[in-house]
Structure 1
């Protein structure tokens, strides 16, 4: 029970931090998204490198980088997660936190679809219904609002492929995040240096918020990795909806983003799909006991 309680606190902490992303990155809304992403990568790498030294995992992480196949997959995953981060940062700056939260509501369903296509995982009837309802929700936005929710679809698809690659790559979360950050860091450092030379650097006006973006990246991922070792999948699956729920609540009541009836109807289809999806996961876990 002690391990479960500890895992529950860690998991809740991770998803609560992710749920606060919309509010946090609003602090950096007047900083170009490219620059925020660059600092996020740099400071995340410094934090993770320190943790590698403290935990004694630096040598094993460097050894992973000498495995060409694994390094190739992590290079691809670093590109995917960087694009995911950039789109989210940009969405917050454009006051599209609600649509960004939709992306994370869709992520579990996108993962199911990718698992079916690339891993041959079978969908049960409830999962087919949940995917169909989510598709109706997206189509409703296209018809009612006259636009494709590309931010939500991009975030969920990029994260889905990222998860697919990491699932097939036998690397622990700390080493994986460190290597991904190392691979992208040279570009990030070069870009920040260029900004300094051009006099377009915003670090002087937002030092702590930019440094904090690294903490906001590394801490929840590490909390989640620890929680995943202590909690059953059913509990993790339930906690998964905490982050986008907090994001949409903060977007409506704190950031005052519009939430018209048409958008609410779209979300209702997707939430119904997620409810059915959760029931299917619960039944599957129960049948394995």
Structure 2
């Protein structure tokens, strides 16, 4: 019992660490200015791969990675995951550096609802009534923001769907792939993308890396650590906490992103945005309440046979 409680407390700390770091990530990317989003993502891919290679060497885990490479289906599935996560990274960094942090927070607020919707579209799952209500309220929220604010929230939807699909692909590989090996192979698949992006920037506006002071160089070099550490904390939390609790902790990241965007970076929050966000929060309350009730019902049901 004592060991379970200790593991639970450790899991909670890991989850707070992971989602907390993801929540303040916009501040980090703003500090990278004047580096543009295409260059940032290019360096992020390369330095993430370097950092993962160091981790694999220190932990002597290369054998596990080689075992994955020898399974073509698993290897190519991680390539698909890499494609989805680079779309997510590119949209996120672009939005952050263009003063749209609040839109990124909306994307991660609606991500749980998009995940439920993807279950219907991809797995033919049947939703409970409360889940349909949450999906419907979210759809109304998007319409309110699009019509009232005059701009379709493509950033939010792109982030929600790319990360939702990424999560779907990662669940397909399940426990067969550890966090470090997974990120290593995903970023390895993306090296041609990184080289292409950096070549494009070099040939057009010119690379900022090395030309904007030592602090900029250090921050860009640290992008690999900034990418990998929250993922490792998340993996450690997921091993120690029930899925229901992980579902509750995930709201910490968009809450912090919203605070950063609205109160630190002072992005606009007109009335229609407040209404749209309020509707999304109502949808999340409905979805979370249903999730908790469903979890209690499963635990209370008698064992079959």
Please give the TM-score of this superposition, normalised by the length of structure 2.
0.91
**Contact 1:137 1:269 (8 Å CA) reproduced:** yes
- In structure 2, the CA distance between the partners of 1:130 and 1:199, relative to structure 1 (3 Å rule), is closer
Q: SS in structure 2 opposite 1:226?
A: helix
RMSD of the TM alignment (CA)?
Answer: 1.6
Range with bigger deviation, 127-136 or 167-176: 167-176
**Contact 1:145 1:262 (8 Å CA) reproduced:** yes
Which residue number corresponds to residue 92 of structure 1?
96
In the alignment, does 2:109 pair up with 1:105? yes
**Contact 1:30 1:93 (8 Å CA) reproduced:** no
Per-residue deviation, 1:176: 1.1
Q: Count matched residues.
A: 289
Moved segments of 4+, more than 6 Å: none
Range with bigger deviation, 209-218 or 258-267: 209-218
- In structure 2, the CA distance between the partners of 1:261 and 1:197, relative to structure 1 (3 Å rule), is closer
Q: SS in structure 2 opposite 1:169?
A: helix
Q: SS in structure 1 opposite 2:222?
A: helix
Which residue number corresponds to residue 122 of structure 1?
126
Q: SS in structure 2 opposite 1:20?
A: helix
Aligned partner (choices 30, 44, 50) of residue 46 of structure 1: 50
Which residue number corresponds to residue 172 of structure 1?
178
Which residue number corresponds to residue 188 of structure 1?
194
In the alignment, does 2:207 pair up with 1:201? yes
- Structure 1 Cα separation of the partners of residues 156 and 195 of structure 2: 29
Range with bigger deviation, 73-82 or 59-68: 59-68
- Structure 2 Cα separation of the partners of residues 110 and 30 of structure 1: 33
Range with bigger deviation, 266-275 or 64-73: 64-73
- Structure 2 Cα separation of the partners of residues 127 and 198 of structure 1: 47
Q: SS in structure 2 opposite 1:229?
A: helix
Which residue number corresponds to residue 26 of structure 1?
30
- Structure 2 Cα separation of the partners of residues 272 and 252 of structure 1: 20
- Structure 2 Cα separation of the partners of residues 168 and 38 of structure 1: 27
- Structure 2 Cα separation of the partners of residues 274 and 67 of structure 1: 39
Range with bigger deviation, 6-15 or 26-35: 26-35
Q: SS in structure 1 opposite 2:7?
A: helix
Aligned partner (choices 140, 148, 151) of residue 152 of structure 2: 148
Q: SS in structure 2 opposite 1:123?
A: coil
- Structure 2 Cα separation of the partners of residues 2 and 180 of structure 1: 33
Which residue number corresponds to residue 284 of structure 1?
294
Per-residue deviation, 1:189: 3.8
Aligned 1:61-76 pairs, distance under 5 A: 61-76=65-80
Q: SS in structure 1 opposite 2:127?
A: coil
Q: SS in structure 1 opposite 2:151?
A: coil
Which residue number corresponds to residue 17 of structure 1?
21
Per-residue deviation, 1:123: 1.0
Aligned partner (choices 259, 268, 281) of residue 249 of structure 1: 259
Range with bigger deviation, 234-243 or 166-175: 166-175
Which residue number corresponds to residue 285 of structure 2?
275
- Structure 2 Cα separation of the partners of residues 24 and 202 of structure 1: 16
In the alignment, does 2:45 pair up with 1:35? no
